[in-house]
Amino acid sequence: MANKKEINRRRTFGIVSHPDAGKTTLTEKFLLFGGAIQEAGAVKSNKIKKTATSDWMEIERQRGISVATSVMGFEYRDHKINILDTPGHQDFAEDTFRTLTAVDSVIIVIDGAKGVEPQTKKLMQVCRMRKTPVIVFINKMDRPAQDPYDLLDEVENQLEIGVHPLSWPINDGPEFRGVYNMYEEKLVLFNPGEKAMENNSVEFTDINDPELEEYIGEDAIQLREDLELVEGVYAKFNNKAYLDAQVAPVFFGSALNNFGVKEMLDCFIDIAPTPLPVETEERIVKAEEDKFSGFVFKIHANMDPKHRDRIAFVKVCSGKFERNKNYLHVRNAKTMKFASPTAFMASKKSVIDEAYPGDIVGLHDTGNFKIGDTITEGEKLHFKGLPSFSPELFKYIENADPMKSKQLAKGIEQLMDEGVAQLFTGRASTRKIIGTVGALQFEVIQHRLLHEYGASCRYEPIRLYKTVWITSDNEAQLADFIERKFQQMAFDKEGRNVFLADTPYSLQMAQDKFPDIQFHFTSEF
């Protein structure tokens, strides 16, 4: 059997939220507790020149938002924690959805004033679909916030999951006094400006102890009433219901002030799942199997712009990954070995000799990998569920500097391999079309082409409704369709036929007139 001790030590989770709820700040505090960094970086502060560890791309620093998932691993309380910090902005949802296939549990961050926001609901749908266990952190309690009961109701109704508070806030905004940690039966006091560490928590097994008044004065009466009500409404916390993704434990705090974060991290280590079984088309793969298997869920070019490197992010699903050992690249049917597999701390990388289920390994890639690829010790497995979205926005991409056409071609190729967007080449015009799920992606592509490849591009408008992949067993009808629609035909990056429908009507007409042709709305068929 594989090394059970190492498997049980691992916790791999994603942090998701609506933009600006404080997700990246929370990630920073986790790293602080794990001793992985010495000083947390304010994501947006201009006074502090240090930026967030997880926002390492140039454009992220400029805008104060995350546009790519970053991976960070650290040790805490004899556990190996792997965090995947995802983009909150809806234009980068594809990256976030793919990342959710590589985690065993999720922490959802919610702004105490704004409550559940649209992007959070969307991400929760993916968690529900995959039955991923979820913990909720209600952030920014040091600012005016909604009533905690209203917040819990909103989480329950909007995210369609049962909730169970494991900490309870004492007031909010300027009156915020701290939280009562119900999981550990501790009162944790909030002193603005001071870092929340061990010294400001007081153990209270009996909440009716008159000593409570000495710490929080008249607020003690309200706290006792609240806790009595909470205990009446919510049954005893059931860890199995959390692991079955039926109940979400809820914590309150302030990530910016490092408050309530340690309580959640300690509880998370106790209750969160160890690496879970993963579904493949052939069978269920369990973490404790002897033989290594893993899949590529993300590719990133230029993590170090000086070296023009491409890294494939591999989630280890079973067995033990070892450096310099031969593995099978299932799609290419090639045997490969990796001399310098890496572990991550955002953009910092360190070479590792081995990795266990739950770990994320970075493999240097010269163009061998695609998102969804499988690596094994010989078994032909195909992991399921890596979504690919049909683009909704389209633009022609043109070279703005004829002297840099090579750099532009290389840059476009590598960024498309990352799954940042999709590329189509017109059959008749040979013009290149970029398709994205969100408008901000066009800006990111332009910025990265310029700063990472030294290539400048410009966009031109195109009127397009949908790109549709076409296949058919009726070769004559397929050839006839391509001939008739030649001006509206394109190739995707893999050389497959794509129909560029300019209106819903033209798509409907094509489907009606050519019944033997299959029209596919995603590139997975």
* Mean pLDDT score, 318-346: 89
Which helix (DSSP H) or strand (DSSP E) does residue 377 occupy?
none
Based on the fold, state whether residues 406 and 345 are members of the same structural domain.
Answer: no
Which residues, other chains included, contact 288 with Cβ-Cβ below 8 Å and sequence gap of 6+?
1, 2, 4, 7, 318, 357
Q: Per residue in 283-302, pLDDT tens?
A: 999 999 999 999 998 887 76
User: In the chain, how many domains are there?
Assistant: 3
Q: pLDDT tens, 71-116?
A: 788 888 899 999 887 764 454 456 677 778 889 999 999 999 999 9
Residue 435 in domain = yes
Q: What is the mean pLDDT of the chain?
A: 84
- What pLDDT was estimated at residue 85? 75
Residue 268 — pLDDT band, cuts 50, 70, 90?
A: very high
Whether residues 369 and 481 share a domain: the answer is no
Q: Assess if residue 190 is contained within a domain.
A: no
Q: Long-range contacts: 399-405, Cβ < 8 Å, 24+?
A: 399/455, 399/456, 399/457, 400/456, 400/457, 400/458, 401/455, 401/456, 404/454, 404/455, 404/456
The CATH code of the domain that includes 443 is 3.30.70.3280
Distance CA 462, CA 488 (A): 12
Instruction: Return the pLDDT at 17.
Output: 84
Q: Which of 41-55, 173-187, 344-358 has the lowest mean pLDDT?
A: 41-55
Task: Quote the distance between the C-alpha of residue 493 and its chain's center.
Answer: 25
pLDDT tens profile 8-23? 999 999 988 887 888 7
Which sign does the torsion angle of CA 125, 130, 135, 140 carry? negative
**Residue 247 contacts residue 238 (beta carbons within 8 Å):** yes
Q: Is residue 311 in a domain?
A: yes
CATH number at residue 307: 3.40.50.300
**How many residues belong to the chain?**
525
428 and 286, same structural domain?
no
Provide the percentage of residues in the chain whose pLDDT is more than 90: 48
Residues 417, 306, single domain; the answer is: no
Of the candidates 321, 351, 358, the residue with the CA atom closest to the CA atom of residue 336: 321
Distance CA 282, CA 262 (A): 41
Check whether residue 351 and residue 312 sit in a common domain. yes
pLDDT above 50 (res 242): yes
Identify the CA nearest to 315 among candidates 374, 377, 378, 382: 374
Last residue of a domain, one of 376, 407, 427: 376
Higher pLDDT: 371 or 160? It is 160
Residues 371 and 416 in one domain: no
| E-only strand ranges, 90-200 | 105-111, 134-139, 162-165, 167-170, 178-181, 186-189
Same domain for 439 and 313, yes or no, is no
Q: How far is Cα 148 from Cα 166, in angstroms, rounded to an integer? A: 12
Shared domain for 99 and 247, answered yes or no, is yes
Res 300: pLDDT: 78
**Is residue 137 domain-shared with residue 71, that is, in the same domain?**
yes
Domain closes at, from 321, 343, 376? 376
**Could you report the per-residue pLDDT of 440-499, keeping only the tens digit for each?**
789 888 988 998 889 999 999 999 999 999 999 999 999 999 999 999 999 998 899 999
Q: Over 60: is that where the pLDDT of 192 sits?
A: yes
Q: Distances from the Cα of 137 to the Cαs of 52, 66, 123, 181, in angstroms? A: 19, 19, 15, 13
Residue 196 counted as domain residue = no
Pair 118, 237 in one domain:
yes
Q: Which of 253, 271, 289 is the last residue of a domain?
A: 271
* Domain assignment present for 99: yes
Q: Is residue 219 part of a domain?
A: no
Alpha carbons within 13 angstroms on the beta-carbon side of residue 472 total 19
User: Does residue 449 form part of some domain?
Assistant: yes
Residue 89, pLDDT score: 44
Question: How high is the pLDDT of residue 11?
Answer: 95
Domain with 245, as residue range(s), is 4-174+233-271
Average pLDDT over residues 318-339: 94
- List, for residues 377-424, the tens digit of each pLDDT value: 999 998 876 656 668 889 999 999 989 999 999 889 888 877 778 899
299 lies in the same domain as 427: no
Q: Are residues 32 and 137 in the same domain?
A: yes
Q: Establish if 179 belongs to a structural domain.
A: no
The pLDDT, as a whole number, for residue 79 is: 93
